[in-house]
Amino acid sequence: MTKSHDAIIDSEDAAKVREQFRLRAPSNDGGSPHSNFAFTGILRCGECGAAMQTESATGRNKIYHYYNCSRAQKGSGCRNRRISAGEFDQWMVDTIIQRVLTPERMREVIAEVQELTSSWQEDHDRRRQAVIKQIKECNRRRQNLFDVLELHGKDAPNLGDLTTRLRQLNNQLKMLEEELRAIEEEDAPTVNISDEQILEATGLFSKVIQNTGDNKKLRLLMGHFIDKIVVNDSNVEMEYRPDRIVNTNEKSRELVVHSSENWLPEQGSNLRPAD
């Protein structure tokens, strides 16, 4: 089996992006009570690296929800870092829509995917050269056997051995040539998406995020491409995988935006391969 996917996987890791956002310090006047907040499980304390979890406090006439460092909650080695959960969610969702899910950013993502294509090419050339080298070596050994046969004819020493080895070499050569042909027939991954499609995809995606009233669903959406969000005192660092926002579908080699339950409503999306 060939290792055609190694280079692509490596580049995928490299495609992980870290972005910093200024944090507008949320005031502590609370948000509407939710049992789940969108960024639970994604937030990390910038101070100690532990998860930030929600906690609530009962005020005079409402319940306040906060994210706080889980280590501080247990009283074991970090300071309280309470931020209003409702406000943070709203701010973070807005920030992601304004800063990450923009047509410009999507174009960058696509350029990154296209860069994967060049690493694919390198890997492809390397594999091709390796097989060519093996074929040359095989031919050289076969030529040696022919030389012996030519020199000694039917009186060649160990004639049976020689013909067995010749047959083995022929088989090996046949397999190598097939391998080479398969490598040469591989198509480089290409991406093909129009500006209109980018606009439509980002628009739809932003709409889905803004309009989902379900925080659990929102958390699933976010968790799909965000690895973590580190909450520092003066900013927020987000690590995410842009290639998971738009993704190349290997079979059709068409750039698609994650569809249906994950990203986009199935109907109305014309991001299917155009044929």
Residues that bind Zn ion in the complex, under the rule CB under 5 A = 45, 47-48, 50, 69, 71, 78
* Count of beta carbons in the 10 Å neighbourhood of residue 274: 9
What is the rounded CA–CA span in Å between residue 218 and residue 96? 12
Q: Are 236 and 52 in contact (CB under 8 A)?
A: no
**Choice between 76 and 249, CB closer to Zn ion:** 76
Buried b (16+ CB within 10 A) or exposed e, 175-203: ebeebbeebeeeeebebebeeebbebbbe
**Choice between 45 and 113, CB closer to Zn ion:** 45
**Shortest Å distance, C-beta 68 to Zn ion:** 9
**Choice between 14 and 25, CB closer to Zn ion:** 25
**Choice between 82 and 105, CB closer to Zn ion:** 82
**Choice between 47 and 239, CB closer to Zn ion:** 47
What is the rounded CA–CA span in Å between residue 240 and residue 201? 18
List residues bridging with 256 in a β-sheet: 247
**Shortest Å distance, C-beta 229 to Zn ion:** 14
Q: Are 238 and 21 in contact (CB under 8 A)?
A: yes
Q: In the chain, how long is the greatest CA-to-CA distance?
A: 108
Structure tokens given for 153: 């004819």
